[in-house]
Amino acid sequence: MSASDIVLEISGLSASYGSAQVLNGLNLKVRRNRIATIVGSNGAGKTTVMKAIAGLIRPIGGSVRFDGRELAAEPCDSVVRSGIALVPEGRRLFGSMTVMDNLRTGAYLRPDTAAISHSLDKVFEYFPVLAERRRSVATELSGGQQQMLAVARALMTEPRLLMLDEPSIGLAPVVVDKIADIVLTVSKAGVDVLLVEQNAALAFELAADAYVLESGRIVMEGDAQELARSDAVRSAYLGM
């Protein structure tokens, strides 16, 4: 694997909340034109990894390099400008704002009006129900529609790396399938993807590369399909 194949490289990443250290020297890579996933149990530190990359928390050690640029000390707006977008766990929509206004917040750092209009057309193509409900406030949407809106808002930043934190949680299977289809479509369109997912079966199905996180450390990594066949992963995460 050459350096040019790597879009995101995390080295020795450590992070804490107060005196509680959550990540302990974590190493991880996202390769270009591939989907990478992090799986692990509740409390393993998956969301903390995403927050550290996104600039929502400042690491206490280690490096986060995106296209060769160090981001570990950068604020979240600089991270977004660099081309990284996060779909957070729990969606974090502006509940009293309309679908259109939520989407516009995704593009607030972009000055190019024509390109923003093109991005709107694209997300409405991905999620036709959002076009139909563009004037509805976010709280009027179903849970599945809200998750679609959260993904669409992130895509409005025109990211080069899309990070999704537990996108399937609490959703009906038909909506999970829709989100999975969009993840694959976005990946094929040239956007690299880092997926955190407690639904390990879904994660291994979508991803090319997988990392297993336990107590803030990567304990297994490799080809997603090979890991999915390992006895340890099948027992701990696939219920087999």
CATH code of the domain occupying 1-83+164-170+197-240: 3.40.50.300
**What confidence score (pLDDT) does residue 106 get?**
84
Kindly report the average pLDDT of the chain as a whole number. 88
Which tokens sit at 181? Answer: 């289809």
Q: Residue type at 96?
A: S
**What confidence score (pLDDT) does residue 112 get?**
86
The helix/strand/coil state of 96 is coil
CA terminus-to-terminus distance, the chain: 32
Q: Over the stretch 201-235, which tens digit does the pLDDT of each residue have?
A: 889 999 999 999 988 999 999 999 998 888 888 87
The helix/strand/coil state of 20 is strand
CB-count exposure of residue 125 (10 Å: 0-12, 13-18, 19+): exposed
Which tokens sit at 111? Answer: 């000055």
Average pLDDT, integer, range 166-178? 85
pTM, to two decimals: 0.89
Work out the pLDDT band at 159, boundaries 50, 70, 90.
Answer: very high
Pick the closest to residue 73 from 122, 13, 3 (CA basis). 13
Query: How open is the CA angle 77-79-84, to the nearest 5 degrees?
Result: 120
Which tokens sit at 108? Answer: 């607030």
